[in-house]
């Protein structure tokens, strides 16, 4: 066992899990010098995460938006365990397996009707990479290469180089700026910005634009920025009029998050390519999917080997991940889960009305099961809480609620199995936070 020598006591004391972690692990999106020790979690059940000492946290952000049915779901666990004893993995070039085929067969009918083929990869970033490569190579194969991509400002499409390139430029991408391919941006068409977005898109469009990529209706990591289907329909029609391929990155918005199975179902226009991940496996394991239309697929069919899509990962279509996805779909499509999605959406709407009245709260917005707002501070508190994100994060953890504010944006994005009582706990914790931040006596 790893120990540390305690000089005073004269005996060796075992290191805590968090200390052992610190000795050997580098965490994502974490400044390791200043970050507090991580919180060890030894068990999960439903919406709850348990520490060794039995303290619980309500996972109000679905563990980075992936966990849609709660932790350690017995149905997913059972199916994956069976699959693990049957076939854990098989090479996916030249071979196939039942779970991959069944998942594609069940997934495609749930998507916009023009989606025709499924390409498997490992996560959200790779699902975006594959969509971009399909788009660029589609034009290449057609003998009409196009080099430009248009994206939305503040977009987030992942952390690998291609997906970073089409994400908004920010401190997160700054060190890599010279290595990112050129992308043109249009304003995110939030209310008031619709015409500016249309005008900019119109100015940028020409026959060199390969693709237009966006997170439909909700930009996640950019701060839960929300915009309306009508303007997105207009932007898609405009981009398509110049031949640009339309890529809907539904990595976060997919699988019921926005109140419909996919955010694209709020639209009349259909994307040519879609990227899916996060909720796909119910948050059990990593898997990415890129889907495309028959027309794009056909653009790669040829006697010429060089028109092949040369892309693949060692774990492409891993049977365990495909099985977890199939089990997750069973749960997602059940009446119970669909009712729960409506219940959460309705309860969020009621809480949103209360929030509007609160000092220190701006820009309350909701799309389905996602509720978000901006924390603002009046002058007196500003310096004390100059790091409002960290203050809010810690305060909510102390209340037993895991939320991870994006800067000053606080949001709830819960597993669909969250109970009314747990939702009340989350809402109450937010009320207490607001009171703490404003120092006022107001209560929710």
Ligand X SMILES: *Cc1c(COP(=O)(O)O)cnc(C)c1O
Give me the residue whose beta carbon is nearest to ligand X: 124
CB of residue 166 vs ligand X: minimum separation in angstroms? Answer: 10
Strands 209-214 and 148-152: parallel
From the list 100-108, 119-127, 233-241, 339-347, the region that binds ligand X by CB under 6 A is: 119-127
From the list 197-205, 249-257, 308-316, 330-338, the region that binds ligand X by CB under 6 A is: 249-257
Q: Among 211, 251, 391, 430, which residue interacts with ligand X (rule: CB under 6 A)?
A: 251
Angle, alpha carbons 108-300-291 (nearest 5°): 20
CB of residue 156 vs ligand X: minimum separation in angstroms? Answer: 6
H helices present in 70-193, as ranges: 74-86, 98-107, 124-141, 161-165
Nearer to ligand X, 245 or 251 (CB): 251
Nearer to ligand X, 351 or 416 (CB): 416
Per DSSP, the three-state class of 241 is helix
Per CB under 6 A, which of residues 270..299 are in contact with ligand X?
Answer: 277
Q: Among 121, 123, 425, 438, which residue interacts with ligand X (rule: CB under 6 A)?
A: 123
| Strands across the sheet containing 48-50 | 43-45, 48-50, 56-59, 401-402
Residues contacting 114, CB < 8 A, separation 6+:
270, 272, 293, 294
Name the DSSP letter for residue 15. P
Q: What are phi and psi of 188, to 5 degrees?
A: -65, 130
Per CB under 6 A, which of residues 124..143 are in contact with ligand X?
Answer: 124-125, 128
Nearer to ligand X, 125 or 425 (CB): 125
Per CB under 6 A, which of residues 212..241 are in contact with ligand X?
Answer: 215, 220-221
CB of residue 388 vs ligand X: minimum separation in angstroms? Answer: 23
Per CB under 6 A, which of residues 163..202 are in contact with ligand X?
Answer: none
Nearer to ligand X, 107 or 128 (CB): 128
Per DSSP, the three-state class of 427 is helix
Copy the structure tokens of residue 160.
């690998």
59 lies in the site for ligand X, by CB under 6 A: no
CA distance 263 to 252: 10
Per DSSP, the three-state class of 361 is strand
* Interface residues toward ligand X, by CB under 6 A: 123-125, 128, 156-158, 215, 220-221, 249, 251-252, 277
């Amino acid at each position: 066992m790893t120990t540390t020598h305690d000089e005073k006591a004269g005996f060796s004391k075992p290191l805590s899990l968090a200390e052992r972690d610190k000795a050997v692990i580098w965490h994502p999106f974490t400044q390791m010098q200043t970050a507090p020790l991580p919180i060890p979690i030894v068990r999960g059940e439903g919406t709850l995460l348990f520490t060794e000492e039995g303290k619980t946290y309500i996972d109000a952000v679905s563990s980075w938006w992936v966990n849609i049915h709660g932790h350690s779901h017995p149905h997913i666990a059972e199916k994956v365990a069976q699959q693990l004893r049957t076939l854990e993995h098989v090479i996916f070039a030249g071979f196939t397996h039942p779970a991959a085929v069944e998942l594609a067969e069940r997934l495609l009918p749930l998507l916009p009707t023009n989606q025709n083929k499924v390409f498997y990869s490992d996560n959200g970033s790779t699902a975006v990479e594959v969509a971009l490569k399909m788009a660029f190579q589609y034009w290449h194969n057609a003998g009409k290469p196009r080099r430009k991509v248009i994206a939305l400002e503040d977009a987030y499409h992942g952390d690998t180089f291609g997906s970073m390139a089409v994400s908004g430029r920010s401190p997160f991408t700054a060190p890599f700026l010279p290595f990112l391919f050129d992308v043109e941006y249009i304003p995110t068409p939030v209310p008031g910005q619709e015409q500016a977005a249309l005008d900019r898109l119109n100015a940028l469009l020409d026959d060199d634009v390969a693709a237009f990529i966006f997170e439909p209706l909700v930009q996640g990591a950019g701060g839960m920025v929300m915009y309306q289907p009508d303007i997105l329909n207009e932007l898609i029609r405009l981009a398509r009029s110049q031949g640009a391929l339309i890529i809907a990155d539904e990595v976060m918005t997919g699988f019921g998050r926005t109140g419909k199975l996919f955010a694209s179902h709020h639209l009349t226009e259909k994307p040519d390519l879609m990227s899916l991940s996060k909720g796909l496996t119910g948050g059990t394991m990593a898997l990415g999917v890129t889907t495309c239309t028959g027309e794009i697929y056909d653009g790669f069919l040829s006697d010429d080997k060089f028109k092949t899509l040369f892309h693949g990962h060692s774990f492409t279509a891993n049977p365990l991940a495909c099985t977890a996805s199939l089990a997750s779909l069973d749960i997602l499509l059940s009446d119970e889960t669909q009712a729960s999605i409506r219940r959460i959406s309705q309860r969020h709407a009621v809480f949103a009305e209360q929030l509007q009245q609160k000092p220190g709260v701006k820009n309350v917005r909701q799309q389905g099961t996602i509720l978000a707002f901006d924390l603002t501070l009046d002058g007196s508190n500003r310096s004390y809480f100059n790091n409002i994100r960290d203050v809010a994060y810690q305060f909510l953890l102390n209340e037993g609620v895991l939320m991870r504010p994006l800067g000053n944006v606080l949001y709830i994005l819960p597993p669909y199995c969250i109970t009314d009582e747990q939702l009340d706990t989350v809402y109450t914790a937010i009320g207490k936070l607001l009171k703490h931040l404003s120092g006022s006596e107001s209560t929710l």
